[in-house]
Amino acid sequence: MLGSKRRLVRHSGKAPWVNPKVLELQTAKEILAEVFGVRISDVEEMLNQRCEVVVQSYSREEGLWQESFCLAE
C-alpha cells in the first residue's frame, strides 16, 4: 500500500492484556480510514451515525424494551 505508515512497536516487560475484540475493532477502523481516505475520528462518527439510524429504525411496537422507564406512584 502506498503511503501507509508502519511503526515498529516494542514492548518492554509484560504488555497489559487487551480484549481481542477491542483490537479487532481498532483494526477495522484503521482499514476503513485508509480505504475512505479519512481520519479514524471520521470513521467513528460514521459508525455512530449508522448505529443511531439502526436504533431509530426499531419501534416499540416490535416488542423491544424501552431504554429507560419510571414507575408511577
Residue 33 belongs to a domain:
yes
Provide CB contacts within 8 A for 29, sequence distance 6+: 40, 43, 44, 47
Residue 12 belongs to a domain:
no
Residue 65 belongs to a domain:
no
Residue 49 belongs to a domain:
yes
- Structure pTM? 0.54
- pLDDT tens sequence across 28-71: 999 999 999 999 999 999 999 988 877 777 654 566 666 776 77
Count of CB atoms within 10 A of residue 29's CB? 18
Domain count, the chain: 1
Inter-residue contact 24 to 32 (CB < 8 Å): no
Q: Which domain holds residue 24?
A: 20-58
Residue 43 belongs to a domain:
yes
Residue 44 belongs to a domain:
yes
Residue 41 belongs to a domain:
yes
Residue 30 belongs to a domain:
yes
